[in-house]
């Protein structure tokens, strides 16, 4: 049986379609954080460096 015009149009339209794209995997930043030792965090180290430059010793 010959295909109808409608069937032929659907077939031609579907031939030109691309396959659906796969979702891109999203990169997430790791949640783990490194905690500085108590009393000697980054800010404390910077303040210690300032003290050494200003008064020559750590308070």
Phi, psi (degrees; rounded to nearest 5) at 2: -75, 145
Question: Can you give the pTM of this predicted structure?
Answer: 0.30
Domain ranges of the chain: 5-54
Which residues are CB-contacts of 57 (< 8 A; sequence separation ≥ 6)? 51
Which pLDDT tens digit goes with each residue over 3-24? 888 888 888 888 877 777 788 8
Which pLDDT tens digit goes with each residue over 19-55? 777 888 887 777 777 766 666 677 878 888 888 888 8
pLDDT of residue 58: 66
Residue 29 sits at the vertex; the CA angle it makes with 38 and 44, to the nearest 5 degrees, is 20
Rounded Cα–Cα distance for residues 39 and 49 (Å): 15
């Amino acid at each position: 049986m010959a295909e109808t015009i409608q069937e032929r149009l659907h077939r031609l339209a579907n031939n030109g379609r691309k396959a659906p794209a796969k979702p891109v995997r999203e990169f997430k930043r790791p949640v783990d954080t490194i905690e500085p030792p108590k009393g000697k965090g980054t800010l404390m180290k910077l303040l210690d460096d300032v003290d050494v430059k200003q008064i020559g010793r750590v308070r």
